[in-house]
Amino acid sequence: MVGPHSRTGRVHGLLARARRPDRDQVESLKLCVPYWFIAVVLAGFAAFQIWMNPFGFSDLVQRYSQDVSDLLITGPYFYGKEGRDSVSVAIVDEGTLHTLHAPWPWKYGDHARVLDALLQYKPKAVVLDFLFVDSRPDETLKDLTDEIGRYKKAGVPIYFEGGIDLPYGENPLRPEVAKTGVPVLDPAIPINAGVARQYYATGRCFNQKPDGDGTCPSLAFRVYRDLYGKEHPLVRVDDKMEMVWGTRTAPENHWITRTGADGAQHSCFEKMGLLRRWYLAFFDTDAVKSPCPYTAEFPVDALLLTPDDKDVAKMARDRVVFYGGALQAAQDRTYTPVNNLLPGVFVHAMAMDNLITFHGRPFQNTVTLNGKPVDGNLVQLIATIPVILILSLFHWRKVCRKRVTASPSGGRDSSVAEYVLEKVVEKIWHYLAFGLALGVGLLLTSSAGLSVANWVEVVFVSVELAAMLLVGVPDSIWGYLHHVIGGMPLPEAARVPGLDTAEERAT
């Protein structure tokens, strides 16, 4: 029976060891750390890093990595041209208004003229990025509704956007236009820190019939499903698609120039050396970003005044044409990972480009298992498990070798070889962790469609885990805790199976 004085003495002893640990005993106990403890410590740190997002680290890593990938890797080298050759933007800007001597806003009849000019080229579909919610009197409104009828007769799909979050309860689309039965789509765009990196998969239904799950596809998803869904069906995207922004502007954009820092006009096709591009991407990102859009663009005045222009004909015929505005007063502009400010219509065009290029299987921020979406954080944590198990095993074997060598009868004859081996492993440790995590991430991208932004943190966390093992964090925790509770170093005779020396086996 243990008396109260004995229990008090144990508590005092525990507190004394916690305050002033015996370093020699702690160092000795560190060599007894078990494999499972190393794995648990690493898993706990990884879970904290991924789930708790300390200092916003996870969000910063994800979005920064996505931007760098679009700007330097995916955008210029690995993103296909199939979508770029299938999507165009017809734009109304200040130059258009000046050339046509037209005020803004346009009458409905003016929009009808543009749509009629587009129809002559037989586009694959036309999407209007204008909101027609005003009930202002306009005698040319019938011209617009009649033009919609001509599109239906020609078999060319035409889509209108619906107003969202309207301040005075206006209809999302003027009733006169809505009565034509034209599809009304949700134009909402998610903006993260002022940059368009994602795109909603679902949105408000307006006059659409909901799908079986009660949701309606967003603008680009609805258009893709109508035009390409039979050939390449859409996969289920549970939350948002992660957009990939191309950097190689369409060749039809040769007419666009940009004003450089020197005040001179420069072509969108000026080439930049690889090393300079990579350097500027990290230290002066704006110098690498292009004001020229990836999607082929043509001004509406060219469509109306020079209908025989070969470039206009190429960009309008058999393509999905987004008809929108780039007016300064409209303030409908956003940043992208590879561009400075662009009109919002280009975000919808790029989303459509992604869906076409990836054949209805865009990158996304969740994966689906057994028909249910799995949170991206959980996916990342699961992805780190094989990395943790492998790194823990290598580290544990290294600790075991040290324990054998530290004993008086340990393998002194192999100490030089072991020292060299440890130094080699120490040098490649971070590269091993990086390679393992990168392999897991690429597997997630190829098999599950998880975007770079949603698995790249696995790489950073894996390198952090390797650094923890390099300085022996799990070993130190084990040694300190065991010393505090009164643990003693293992006797010299204790050996790790399979690691005892030839000399010991002989005795």
pLDDT (tens digit per residue) in 245-284: 999 999 999 888 776 656 677 788 777 777 888 888 778 8
pLDDT band at 58 (very low <50, low <70, confident <90, very high): confident
Q: Which of 332, 365, 398 is the last residue of a domain?
A: 365
**pLDDT confidence of 42, banded at 50, 70, 90?**
very high
The Cα 256–Cα 235 span in angstroms is: 36
Would the pLDDT of 289 be above 50? Answer: yes
Domain that includes residue 180, residue range: 76-365
397 occurs within a structural domain: yes
| Residue pointed to by tokens 């054949």 | 359
Dmax (CA) for the chain in angstroms is: 107
* pLDDT at residue 471 tops 70: yes
Asked if residue 256 and residue 109 are part of one domain, the reply reads yes
Q: Determine, yes or no, domain membership for 6.
A: no
| Pairing of the two strands 372-374 and 367-369 | antiparallel
Distance CA 112, CA 142 (A): 9
Query: For the whole model, what pTM was predicted?
Result: 0.79
Q: How confident is the model at residue 378 (pLDDT cuts 50, 70, 90)?
A: confident
Question: Does 194 fall in a domain?
Answer: yes
- Domain match, 269 and 311 both: yes
Whether residue 67 lies inside any domain: the answer is no
Give the per-residue pLDDT at 403.
78
225 in a structural domain: yes
Of 336, 365, 394, which closes a domain? 365
pLDDT at 412 over 80: no
- Mean of pLDDT over the chain: 83
Closest residue by Cα to residue 88 from 280, 287, 416, 319: 319
- Whether residues 307 and 412 fall in one domain: no
Nearest CA to 195 out of 69, 363, 63 is that of: 63
| 205 and 177 co-located in one domain | yes
The count of domains in the chain is 2
Quick one: which of 75, 447, 86 has its CA closest to 231?
A: 86
Average pLDDT of span 492-496: 42
Q: Residue 61 domain-assigned?
A: no
Q: Over range 297-321, report the average pLDDT.
A: 93
Final residue of a domain: which of 340, 365, 390?
365
Q: Residues 232, 330: one domain?
A: yes
- Tell me, yes or no, whether 412 and 332 share the same domain: no
What is the percent of the chain with per-residue pLDDT over 90, rounded to a whole number? 40
Q: How many CB atoms lie within 10 A of CB 98?
A: 10
Measure the CA–CA gap between 448 and 450, rounded to whole angstroms: 6
